[in-house]
Amino acid sequence: MRLSLSVARPFGIDVRVHVTLLGVVALSAWRWRSFGDEGLLFGALSTVALFTCIALHELGHSVVAQAVGLRVREILLFPLGGVAQLEGLPKKPWHEFVIAIAGPLVNVVIAAGLWWASVETSADGRALRAALAEPSPTAAHFVASLMLANGFLAAFNLLPAFPMDGGRVLRAALSPLLGAEAATRTAATLGRLLAVGLMVLGAWLGDVVTVLLAVFVVFAGREEEALQRWLTVLRGVRVTDVLPTRPVVLAPTATLADAVAALARSPASVFAIERLGRLAGVVTRQDVLTAAKVRSDSSLVVDVARTEVPILAPTDVLERARELMHAADAPCAAVLREGILLGLVSEDELAQQAVVSARLVRG
């Protein structure tokens, strides 16, 4: 069961809230309990407003990503912030640049709008400064704190280090000069230096959240480096280089009993179903095992097959396979030459190349 709730779907993008964020809202309300019911409501609404701004930040990334041809699976909000899950990576450095910069720009626009509204309503801005100096559950303090929060979000995310947006801006700027892998390594290194600073600051202030954020920065930077190394390997390997010598093929008349027997004979993770020499679908080991628990042995395996299979040419590289499989949420891609099946590239082959990537790094 997913631990997140869908709350909106702007531009066809599912915005989800992790259930742990509800605890953050409750904690924020509790911090204002000394002001009674009004304070409880103020604390809850302040947190909801802040994470609405974070959602708009991620929506800025997402809308621009869609504009340059990337699909966005969802936006997930969690206690440490939010993340837009893109299906694939930007193909060009300038695509990454505009996607990365869009989020902080949204926060800049929000902060500027709140500042303008505050100054317009207080003539010289003194009410804004007073609201910040004396926290209270008032509209003025709500606007002032939200304005500062958006300014902080913009500034913090523009730090030139992974996993912040500024790190992606930096990689986009350095990639034409150094290459994607070296540019990623540079931004990740700056991210680790930032993490050290955050840990020292968190320890000095006794702020657990700042320390957790530092840990998140370290791990996110490492994941970004590992992904880039893997993609570098995948770009240099053609799909035909990793194909099994012969794909395991089942006839459309094969039963689940036949498929289970095939599992015992072959270590393959995915099997092809051919009809008159043409690919009719694929079925994974897990598909067969799951179906075998609820269906009779005489059931046709084609009834549980996946008919929508990404298609690759023999000259395509593994990076292309990964992109198509990820976009279609498919367990494999079929390699065809003039309609004839040459083999199936599955997650297993991609995992093997991940191991190769790790060994190259250690070597």
Q: What is the pLDDT of residues 26-39, one digit of tens each?
A: 988 898 888 888 88
Please indicate, yes or no, whether residues 260 and 210 belong to a single structural domain of this protein.
no
In a domain, 208, yes or no: yes
Mean pLDDT over each residue of the chain, to the nearest integer: 83
In a domain, 216, yes or no: yes
CATH number at residue 258: 3.10.580.10
Q: Which of 158, 190, 224 is the last residue of a domain?
A: 158
Q: Is the confidence at residue 124, as pLDDT, over 70?
A: no
Residue 335 near residue 239, CB atoms below 8 Å: yes
Measured in degrees and rounded to the nearest 5, phi and psi for residue 283 equal -140, 135
List beta partners, residue 296.
none
In a domain, 327, yes or no: yes
Please indicate, yes or no, whether residues 100 and 153 belong to a single structural domain of this protein.
yes
What is the tens place of the pLDDT at every residue in 180-197? 778 888 888 888 888 888
In a domain, 228, yes or no: yes
Q: What is the pLDDT of residue 111?
A: 93
CB under 8 Å to 21, separation ≥6 — which residues?
51, 77, 78, 79
Percent of the chain topping pLDDT 90:
17
pTM: 0.69
Please indicate, yes or no, whether residues 19 and 120 belong to a single structural domain of this protein.
yes
In a domain, 290, yes or no: yes
CB atoms within 10 A of CB 302: 19
Amino acid at 140: A
Please indicate, yes or no, whether residues 221 and 267 belong to a single structural domain of this protein.
no
Q: What is the pLDDT of residue 137?
A: 79
Residue 83 near residue 89, CB atoms below 8 Å: no
Please indicate, yes or no, whether residues 12 and 154 belong to a single structural domain of this protein.
yes
Per the structure, the count of domains in the chain is 3
| CA pair distance 342, 338, nearest whole angstrom | 10
Please indicate, yes or no, whether residues 258 and 130 belong to a single structural domain of this protein.
no
Q: Is the confidence at residue 120, as pLDDT, over 70?
A: no
Q: Which of 123, 158, 193 is the last residue of a domain?
A: 158
Q: Is the confidence at residue 49, as pLDDT, over 80?
A: yes
Please indicate, yes or no, whether residues 34 and 125 belong to a single structural domain of this protein.
yes
Q: What is the pLDDT of residue 65?
A: 92
Please indicate, yes or no, whether residues 289 and 356 belong to a single structural domain of this protein.
yes
In a domain, 195, yes or no: yes
Please indicate, yes or no, whether residues 343 and 276 belong to a single structural domain of this protein.
yes
Q: Is the confidence at residue 226, as pLDDT, over 90?
A: no
List beta partners, residue 343.
335
Please indicate, yes or no, whether residues 78 and 61 belong to a single structural domain of this protein.
yes
What is the rounded average pLDDT of the residues 53-65?
A: 95
Its domain, for residue 332, covers 239-362
- Mean pLDDT lowest for which of 14-18, 73-77, 342-346? 342-346
3-state secondary structure 143-189: HHHHHHHHHHHHHHHCCCCCCCHHHHHHHHHHHHHHCHHHHHHHHHH
Buried b (16+ CB within 10 A) or exposed e, 243-254: bbeebbebeeeb
Please indicate, yes or no, whether residues 190 and 328 belong to a single structural domain of this protein.
no
Please indicate, yes or no, whether residues 198 and 123 belong to a single structural domain of this protein.
no
**Three-class DSSP category at 18:** strand
